[in-house]
Structure 1
Amino acid sequence: MIEHVVPAAVSTRAAYGAELDDAPLFPEEAGAVAKAVAKRRAEYAAGRACARTALSALGIPPGPILRDTERGAPIWPDGVVGSITHCDGYRAAAVARTPDILTLGIDAEPHGPLPDGVLDVILATPHERASLAALTAQAPQVRWDRLLFSAKETVYKAWYPFHRRMLDFKSAELLFTPDESEDPGHGGYTARLLVPGPLLTDELRLAHFSGRYLARDGFVVTAITVQHDDVK
């Protein structure tokens, strides 16, 4: 699924169910999850395996993908940007070379309602609430609340490499635009940053992110990719 929401310059690999959950880890990676529960170790192994396969398509040989010490984000090879996601039944990774993509973030979630109270945490503006209500009235078969949660995860993942610090759920306003088709389960979204955006040059700050979403086969996937042409 993830391959349908990223541009051609991005290499992806996804795994369904328990596929790759027992994939081998490098010793450095295994140490990072040695004390984790079995579910977490399986997700970690599958995510790393997906990432290595995606990197191989870029001509990068297999190696350990470690985590930074601040937030646990993957540490990618020089000249590469990437993102890993996992939820029950689905794991995926997306990577690209920096001459093609400045930053990216992906997320996957089960296509079901959010737990009670979560929506109040992630909503930031009355405009978001009104938009979500209108979309739900038009296409109730799509769990727009879950899509909003997933899309906000991608904003953080695309933001983090620039600032190396947390971005609050309420620091961006998201609006969805379904594609012009009979299926509202795919389309785009825009995340307007409500805080100073990533500084790309001495004078240019990124004020918003644009992404794509897909709701299908029991999952929602979302992705933000920032290409060089997006900031010219």
Structure 2
Amino acid sequence: MIAAILPPDVAAVSTFGDLSPTRDRGLFPAEAAAVAQAVARRRAEFTTVRLCARRAMAELGLPPAPLLSGKRGAINWPDGVTGSMTHCPGFRAAAIARTEAIASLGIDAEPNLPLPDGVLEVISLPRERAGLAELSRRRPDVHWDRLLFSAKESVFKTWYPLTRRELDFTEAELDFDPAGTFSARLLVPGPELAGRRHGAFSGRWTVGRGFVLTAIALPA
């Protein structure tokens, strides 16, 4: 599913269940140490998204490598590689690209269910909330509050590796096209790449099999 909303330069692997390490190389020692004290569910999702990532890396001809999290959960990708991983109950995915083609990636998956009470007010701006009713009328199959949350997660995942700075939910204003695209206008100075400052990100979204998925691939 996630590959359908990413450009051809990106390799993406997803699964609706946990992968068995017996079919792939398992965790690297440093990865295993990072979740040694975690509960079984956390170890399973941690392992599966890394197996997805290494399969995607293999599609690009890249060797396997340990994928360890740094500050704010951002993955320390090998040189020349950018990527993003996501997991929620029943779905795991990873997307990988070479930095010569894609500067940064952000993907996110969420259950297609309403957000818990009170969360929408925390993660959204008044203009965004005002548009949800019209979007719901046009596409009642989508829980637009959850899609907004997912898209803002993809915005942060794209932003953070380029800036190493925090980005609050209310520091990006999103607009959605019911046909499957969205734009995110940054309300703070955006990252500068090759002498050009990016004040907005463009992304795509989809819904299916009980999930909403969002993705941003920022060209190099």
Same fold (TM over 0.5): yes
User: What TM-score comes out, normalization by structure 1 length?
Assistant: 0.90
Determine if contact 2:82/2:97 at 8 Å carries over to the other structure.
Answer: yes
How much has 1:36 moved relative to structure 2? 1.6
- Give the TM-score, by structure 2 length: 0.95
Aligned-partner Cα distance in 1 for 2:38–2:197? 39
Match of 1:188 in 2: 181
Match of 1:200 in 2: 193
CA deviation map 1:95-114 (0-9, x unaligned): 00011111110000111111
Amino acid of the structure 2 residue aligned with 1:8: P
Distance 1:138 1:21 in 2: 43
> The residue matched to 2:165 in structure 1 has which SS?
coil
Shift of 1:81: 0.6
Task: Give the partner amino acid of 1:127.
Answer: R
CA deviations over 1:1-33 (Å, ceiling 9, x no partner): 100110000001111123348862111101111
> Any idea what SS the aligned residue of 2:38 has?
coil
Measured against aligned partners, the alpha-carbon deviations of 1:75-128 in whole angstroms (never above 9, x if no partner) come to 11111110000000000000000111111100001111111111011112x221
Instruction: Report if the CA contact (8 A) 1:21-1:43 is conserved.
Output: no
Count of residues in Structure 1 that have an aligned counterpart in Structure 2: 218
| Structure 2 Cα separation of the partners of residues 99 and 172 of structure 1 | 26
Residue 218 of structure 1 is aligned with which of 182, 193, 210? 210
Per-residue deviation, residues 137-156 of structure 1 (Å, max 9, x unmatched):
22222111110000000000
Aligned Cα RMSD in Å?
A: 1.4
SS in 2 for 1:221: strand
Check conservation: 2:135, 2:178, Cα contact below 8 A: no
Provide the rounded CA distance (Å) in 2 between the counterparts of 1:120 and 1:21.
Answer: 41
Q: Secondary structure at the match of 2:152?
A: helix
**Rounded Cα–Cα distance in structure 2 between residues aligned with 1:167 and 1:220:** 22
Q: What percentage of aligned pairs have identical amino acids?
A: 57
CA shift, 1:48, in A, is: 0.4
Partner of 1:71, secondary structure, is: helix
1:62 is matched by which residue type in structure 2? P
Partners of 2:45 and 2:108 lie apart in 1 by: 14
State the match for 1:140 in structure 2.
140
Separation of aligned partners in 2, 1:199 and 1:49: 32
Deviations 1:32-62, CA, capped at 9 Å, x for gaps: 1112222111110001000000000111111
